[in-house]
Homo-oligomer: A and B are copies of this chain.
Amino acid sequence: MRLGNRSPAFAGILALLTLSGCATVPASTPRAAPATAAATTVPPAMQWLFGSGEGGTASLQAYRALRDHVLRSARARPADSVVLAEGSTLASPRFVPCARKPLAVMLDVDETAIQNLGYEYDEAVRGRSFDSAAWNRWERTGERSVAPMPGAVEALRAIRAAGIEVIFNSNRQAANAAHTEAALDFAGLGPARHGETLFLQGDIAPGSGKDPRRAAVAGRWCVIAMAGDQLGDFSDLFNARTLPVGERRRAAVEGPFAGLWGNGWFMLSNPVYGPGLRGGFDDIFPQDRRWSDPGERE
């Protein structure tokens, strides 16, 4: 999921957050200046996600777990999908029943199925933070500058071979649907057909919330697994603006969803962008776990 494709107010908050960190804005690089590659450095989170064996194998491992779960779950034919039913809360979720609907898995696109190498390169080399106009141009012209996330091609191939549909739910723009279909094809992850197996921002309901699209898909399919790199790829409930950082983590990790991770809901690790990159010291480091280096005693 690409985070910037949200409301203008949220985008403004994000711009501030991104400026306050520096994963995407090396301090020594003028913003939007045509810097040369040699003049700056790659943000560490991009090194990890796109360049490291650690990031690559984390993706491979998540896709192996997804594939194994999907093939196993398909044989068992569950009563319920993994999509939350209307009226669910974080404390009290219910799931859309499967009835006799055909089986499907639902995935986010960006940094879940594909690596947006071209866009991230451009952002890093310019020392620019997320720019929604530039991202829109990327959607329309970048379809041959992507790569699959490690493990995705093999997992989706095995899932389709078992007769299970693969459906994408992305906050890319519906107006650019043909280009996103092409990007998924280029990455070896297609076919995806807009309105059938590809749902985008502008489809079903306006806005960046993914719940209306999930509900539409779950009305027609028995969704036995979802994959994403952001909690919003599983439920919009995690994106409530009033949810503090620590409570958001606890709701995902300790609540009734704890047993779903790796068991119907599959998280791809993305430290480069997203609503997870939020919080001050009081949000991230509990008071009772702080330590102050006593220094040398000699």
Interface residues, chain A, with chain B CB atoms under 8 Å away: 20-23, 26-28, 37-38, 41-58, 60-62, 64-65, 117-122, 124-126, 133-134, 137-138, 141-142, 145-147, 150, 229-231, 238, 245-246, 248-249, 251-253, 258, 261-263, 265-271, 274-286, 289-296
B44 touches A277 (CB 8 A): yes
Give 5 CB contacts A-B under 8 Å.
A21-B44, A54-B276, A57-B267, A117-B291, A138-B291
Closest to A56 in B: B253
**Interchain nearest-CB distance for A295 vs B (Å):** 8
B296 touches A133 (CB 8 A): yes
Q: Which of B28, B54, B142 contacts A274 (CB 8 A)?
A: B54
A50, A150, A277 — which one has the most chain B CB atoms within 10 A of its CB?
A: A277
B61 touches A291 (CB 8 A): no
- Tell me which residues across on chain B come within 8 A of A258, comparing CB atoms: 60
A293 touches B53 (CB 8 A): no
Q: Which of B58, B266, B281 contacts A125 (CB 8 A)?
A: B281
B262 touches A65 (CB 8 A): yes
Q: Which of B28, B50, B61, B271 contacts A65 (CB 8 A)?
A: B61
- Tell me which residues across on chain B come within 8 A of A283, comparing CB atoms: 42, 51
- Tell me which residues across on chain B come within 8 A of A280, comparing CB atoms: 37, 41-42
A54 touches B291 (CB 8 A): no
How many protomers of this protein does the assembly include?
2
A42, A118, A249 — which one has the most chain B CB atoms within 10 A of its CB?
A: A42
Q: Which of B21, B38, B122 contacts A43 (CB 8 A)?
A: B21
A45 touches B262 (CB 8 A): no
B141 touches A291 (CB 8 A): yes
- Tell me which residues across on chain B come within 8 A of A52, comparing CB atoms: 245, 248-249, 275-279
A58 touches B269 (CB 8 A): yes
A23 touches B44 (CB 8 A): yes
B276 touches A47 (CB 8 A): yes
Closest to A278 in B: B47
A133, A141, A279 — which one has the most chain B CB atoms within 10 A of its CB?
A: A279
User: Given A60-B262, A61-B62, A253-B150, are A289 and B53 neighbors across the interface (CB < 8 Å)?
Assistant: no
A290 touches B121 (CB 8 A): yes
User: Given A54-B274, A277-B47, A279-B51, are A289 and B41 neighbors across the interface (CB < 8 Å)?
Assistant: no
